[in-house]
């Protein structure tokens, strides 16, 4: 298994971060990595995604919500090829006090080809994770109208 993780401090309470993260219809307005999410925010729900990595065409995939603990954790599992290449993506929001939160963005890749895919795409994923974190921070802190 290969893991990617990023985090950022957001100057807003957990509930404000969750409100933006959980509002799937608005992802195209702020999220440079996950460009679209279709489906409802409920445990077991199958979602449809459109994502963008630098230098590659848009990626379309499906995933099921496996973890849903409002307002602190959301995770989905995507199976691209069962046992060959799978990904579990989850977000955690930690209350830091004084109106601040820590947003943690993690993806765990598994399967026979996960090491190869991770090697080939790691820098692109890391760049988009950092961008997503920064854009989420900007959106939550009210810098985007």
The whole-number pLDDT of residue 117 equals: 75
Share of the chain above pLDDT 90, in %: 72
Helix (H) or strand (E) holding 30: helix 27-30
Is residue 44 in a domain? yes
Examine residue 38 and state whether it is found in any structural domain, yes or no.
Answer: yes
Binning pLDDT at 50, 70 and 90, where does residue 81 land? Answer: low
Task: Determine what percent of the chain is predicted with pLDDT higher than 70.
Answer: 97
Mean pLDDT of 40-44: 97
Q: Which domain holds residue 70?
A: 2-140
pLDDT confidence of residue 62: 95
Number of domains in the chain: 1
25 found inside a domain? yes
Among residues 116, 143, 115, which one has the least CA distance to residue 30?
A: 143
Residue at 74 is within a domain: yes
Is 103 domain-assigned? yes
Could you tell me the CATH number of the domain that includes residue 16?
Answer: 3.30.530.20
Residue 145 lies in a domain: no
């Amino acid at each position: 298994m290969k893991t990617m993780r990023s985090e950022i401090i957001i100057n807003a309470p957990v509930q404000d971060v969750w409100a933006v993260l959980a509002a799937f219809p608005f992802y195209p307005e702020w999220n440079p990595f996950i460009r679209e999410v279709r489906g409802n925010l409920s445990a077991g729900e199958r979602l449809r995604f459109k994502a963008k990595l630098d230098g590659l065409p848009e990626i379309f995939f499906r995933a099921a919500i496996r973890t849903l603990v409002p307002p602190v954790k959301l995770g989905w599992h995507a199976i691209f090829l069962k046992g060959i290449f799978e990904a579990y993506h989850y977000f955690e929001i930690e209350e830091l006090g004084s109106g601040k939160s820590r947003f943690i963005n993690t993806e765990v890749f598994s399967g026979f080809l996960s090491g190869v895919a991770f090697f080939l795409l790691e820098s692109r994923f890391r760049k988009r994770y950092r961008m997503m974190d920064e854009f989420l921070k900007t959106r939550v802190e009210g810098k985007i109208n």
